[in-house]
A and B are shown apart, each in its own frame.
Chain A
């Protein structure tokens, strides 16, 4: 059951998310062109770094946060069969988020916040950038609260019943976000804002980087969980089968929540302010959180295989051909999983305690995270949009073929763009440069790969424009959709209580967070630290 309120909330959030996505792709295209050095008139570090900052903020913070909120409202109303609790609060949160984005956008576009999307003290952005980013986070907490309350109310009304899997995962994500955004919130409120407002002269960069690392990796799971929800809850049905295992799906979401949080230090491997022991501890956790992803890959592929065999696919690989490749959700799942495998391999290298030194901060890293985020995660976001848009606007999807072309384009573009980045990274090219200015023979070997990435970027831009066009045409010119019959949920054997709620897991997380971040944060108040001067910006 989706009432008018939840539909409107979802739609309004999706508009911002996908508007930001379309815009950010143009910035991305400019960046590959500028960086390739093929067009001399485009060369400008000032414009490039302003563009990188805007592209990163739009993709990583605006697209994700608004998409996740919109999808959450839909999932909660749909799977629990109840209206969104306190719509006024939901709209207030939405307003706070939009206000924050507008406030942050002004200095970003004026080049007054070229601190990339990971901030970078002691380089200082205009204060409105920090206020805007903080408001975006605070606004998203309204959504978290609504998700938690809706689950609590449903459980009270349905004692002993199993929480529907999509809602279980959505609440896991809300909790993950509350836990993880605390790190950047502390950095923002106690360090960045007072410093940008001129209340304090200096900032402890070591502490700031540690707090940001707290947020920096789990945030990736915040982005990933909606993609996993689609893989577990939409893909098996779309392929004509059913989910292989409900219990392991819940286990995977719980493992991501619990293990995903205390691992941020693999972003600080090369940093001087944390000792090797703590880095080692976080490394073990980073590898452990690969387990739920390996489980997810297995469960989703097993579900696809069941579906393929039901449709007559035989032999070891025959079921692959028998899958409905023309269903956007199925196609997206296959392409997503392929990119997850490729990107996951790169991630294992990054996470390796010693191997990381070879690729740290090189072009390898954006190669890796574009495969995982822009590849795996965004591809599933696009498929979710194709699935939900008709239900949200009450019209049939504008075209049956164009979404398939668009998804293939996104996949091919992503592979063409990220493969040269992985090679460039191994050849030592730094990730955050606008041009190659080194008078060294080494850089000659970089040239051929730079042209290839431009082609990838162009394919991606075309694909992004197709996506926005399909949604626009569906909304304005699609045929009216008749109401679909509700799909009957497969009855599942009730999972044990500890896979039907989060009280236990919150306690486990608290202990893990204290163990992994307690002393590493406390040390900045125990050691004699010298804050750098504010002359850096």
Chain B
């Protein structure tokens, strides 16, 4: 079977025609400059985002992992005795925290994590949509039933932080919050209970 190569002349004529049409467009000199400034400005923004995303690995959470929300309590990971701050750090030294979001709280309701260390939150919803946000930090993620939300953050300063539900989840939504206590690295004791790593 012979595959016909694309007609080079046809493409050439099309492109030349486009070039002629573009050059005939009546664009004011100032406007042409502004167009270039606009494109440069947008290019700068996108460039900054590309650099931080690629070289520093700064991305929004986007960890496509499905889970059966109806049987979270029976699952390997989100069973009641496996929730909260995990006693064993992950291989890279990060602390893992597992939470279940449900009307109207994040369970467990209180957690304590060390400052200055990578914290990997793994969260799943047992009912409807929720959103987890620790104000004035970048710890933010939507919790969509049927999916595991994974988000990584580092809290530099010790203190008490509220974790608020920021997605409408029902009439008790205003009351949905939990407490995150960040303690200095040296004062942090790993919890005795909580699920072991798989």
A295 to chain B, nearest CB (A): 7
Whether the Cβ atoms of B21 and A431 lie closer than 8 Å is no
Q: How large is the interface on B (under 10, 10 to 19, 20 to 34, 35 or more residues)?
A: 35 or more
Whether the Cβ atoms of A533 and B166 lie closer than 8 Å is no
* 9-residue interface stretch from A84-92, A95-103, A175-183, A521-529: A521-529
Whether the Cβ atoms of B138 and A432 lie closer than 8 Å is no
Q: Could you say which residues of chain B place their CB within 8 Å of the CB of A299?
A: 31
Q: Could you say which residues of chain A place their CB within 8 Å of the CB of B171?
A: 45-46, 49, 114
Whether the Cβ atoms of B174 and A433 lie closer than 8 Å is yes
Q: Which of A321-379 contact B (CB under 8 A)?
A: 348, 352-354, 356-358, 360-362
Which residue of chain A lies nearest to B125 when distances are taken between CB atoms in the complex? A532
Closest 3 CB pairs of A and B: A428-B135, A532-B145, A276-B62
- In the bound assembly, the distance between CA atoms of A168 and B105 in angstroms comes to 52
Q: Could you say which residues of chain B place their CB within 8 Å of the CB of A443?
A: 162
| Binary interface encoding of chain B residues 47-71 relative to chain A, with 1 for a CB under 8 A from any of its CBs, else 0 | 0010011000011111111111110
Q: Could you say which residues of chain B place their CB within 8 Å of the CB of A114?
A: 171
Q: Known: A270-B60, A272-B142. Is A428-B49 also a contact (CB below 8 A)?
A: no
Say whether A291 faces chain B, with CB atoms less than 8 Å apart: yes
- In the bound assembly, the distance between CA atoms of A442 and B133 in angstroms comes to 13
Whether the Cβ atoms of B170 and A272 lie closer than 8 Å is no
Contact of A438 among B68, B134, B145, B164 (CB under 8 A): B164
Which residue of chain A lies nearest to B170 when distances are taken between CB atoms in the complex? A123
Q: Which of A489-526 contact B (CB under 8 A)?
A: 493, 495-496, 498, 523
Q: Known: A279-B62, A432-B167. Is A122-B147 also a contact (CB below 8 A)?
A: no
Q: Could you say which residues of chain A place their CB within 8 Å of the CB of B59?
A: 276, 279-280, 353-354
A384 to chain B, nearest CB (A): 25
Whether the Cβ atoms of A530 and B140 lie closer than 8 Å is no
Say whether A106 faces chain B, with CB atoms less than 8 Å apart: no
* 9-residue interface stretch from A57-65, A151-159, A240-248, A396-404: A240-248
Q: Known: A206-B144, A532-B127. Is A362-B133 also a contact (CB below 8 A)?
A: yes
Given contacts A430-B166, A442-B135, 9 further A-B contacts (CB under 8 A): A45-B173, A120-B128, A272-B148, A272-B149, A288-B42, A302-B30, A433-B173, A433-B174, A496-B25
Whether the Cβ atoms of B145 and A440 lie closer than 8 Å is no
Give B residues with C-beta under 8 Å from A.
Answer: 21, 24-28, 30-31, 34-35, 38-39, 41-42, 45-46, 49, 52-53, 58-70, 125, 127-129, 131, 133-150, 160-162, 164-175, 177, 179
Whether the Cβ atoms of A354 and B173 lie closer than 8 Å is no
Contact of A248 among B31, B62, B168, B169 (CB under 8 A): B31
15 contacts between A and B (CB under 8 A): A49-B171, A245-B27, A247-B25, A298-B31, A353-B60, A354-B49, A354-B138, A357-B60, A428-B134, A440-B177, A441-B160, A496-B24, A533-B70, A536-B127, A537-B128
Which residue of chain B lies nearest to A430 when distances are taken between CB atoms in the complex? B166
Whether the Cβ atoms of A535 and B127 lie closer than 8 Å is yes
Contact of A532 among B140, B141, B146, B164 (CB under 8 A): B146
- In the bound assembly, the distance between CA atoms of A430 and B169 in angstroms comes to 12
Q: Known: A427-B136, A430-B164. Is A496-B67 also a contact (CB below 8 A)?
A: no
Whether the Cβ atoms of A493 and B26 lie closer than 8 Å is yes
Say whether A238 faces chain B, with CB atoms less than 8 Å apart: no
Whether the Cβ atoms of B174 and A435 lie closer than 8 Å is yes
Whether the Cβ atoms of A275 and B129 lie closer than 8 Å is no
Q: Could you say which residues of chain B place their CB within 8 Å of the CB of A354?
A: 49, 52-53, 58-60, 138
Q: Could you say which residues of chain A place their CB within 8 Å of the CB of B142?
A: 268, 270-272, 361
- In the bound assembly, the distance between CA atoms of A205 and B137 in angstroms comes to 27
Whether the Cβ atoms of B63 and A432 lie closer than 8 Å is no
Say whether A274 faces chain B, with CB atoms less than 8 Å apart: yes
Q: Which of A108-152 contact B (CB under 8 A)?
A: 114, 116, 120, 122-123
- In the bound assembly, the distance between CA atoms of A531 and B133 in angstroms comes to 24
B130 to chain A, nearest CB (A): 11
Q: Known: A354-B53, A427-B135. Is A244-B174 also a contact (CB below 8 A)?
A: no
Say whether A287 faces chain B, with CB atoms less than 8 Å apart: yes
Contact of B145 among A298, A523, A536 (CB under 8 A): A536
Q: Could you say which residues of chain A place their CB within 8 Å of the CB of B21?
A: 496, 498
Q: Could you say which residues of chain B place their CB within 8 Å of the CB of A532?
A: 69-70, 125, 127-128, 145-146
Say whether A463 faces chain B, with CB atoms less than 8 Å apart: no
Which residue of chain B lies nearest to A124 when distances are taken between CB atoms in the complex? B128
A382 to chain B, nearest CB (A): 28
Which residue of chain B lies nearest to A530 when distances are taken between CB atoms in the complex? B68
B15 to chain A, nearest CB (A): 14
- In the bound assembly, the distance between CA atoms of A248 and B31 in angstroms comes to 9
Whether the Cβ atoms of A272 and B127 lie closer than 8 Å is no
Q: Known: A244-B31, A280-B53, A291-B42. Is A530-B26 also a contact (CB below 8 A)?
A: no
Whether the Cβ atoms of A353 and B133 lie closer than 8 Å is no
Q: Could you say which residues of chain A place their CB within 8 Å of the CB of B42?
A: 287-288, 290-291, 294
Q: Could you say which residues of chain A place their CB within 8 Å of the CB of B39?
A: 291
Whether the Cβ atoms of A528 and B136 lie closer than 8 Å is no
Say whether A450 faces chain B, with CB atoms less than 8 Å apart: no
B195 to chain A, nearest CB (A): 20
Q: Could you say which residues of chain A place their CB within 8 Å of the CB of B70?
A: 530, 532-533
Whether the Cβ atoms of B140 and A270 lie closer than 8 Å is yes
- In the bound assembly, the distance between CA atoms of A278 and B62 in angstroms comes to 9
Contact of A442 among B46, B162, B170 (CB under 8 A): B162
Whether the Cβ atoms of A276 and B60 lie closer than 8 Å is yes
Whether the Cβ atoms of A348 and B45 lie closer than 8 Å is yes
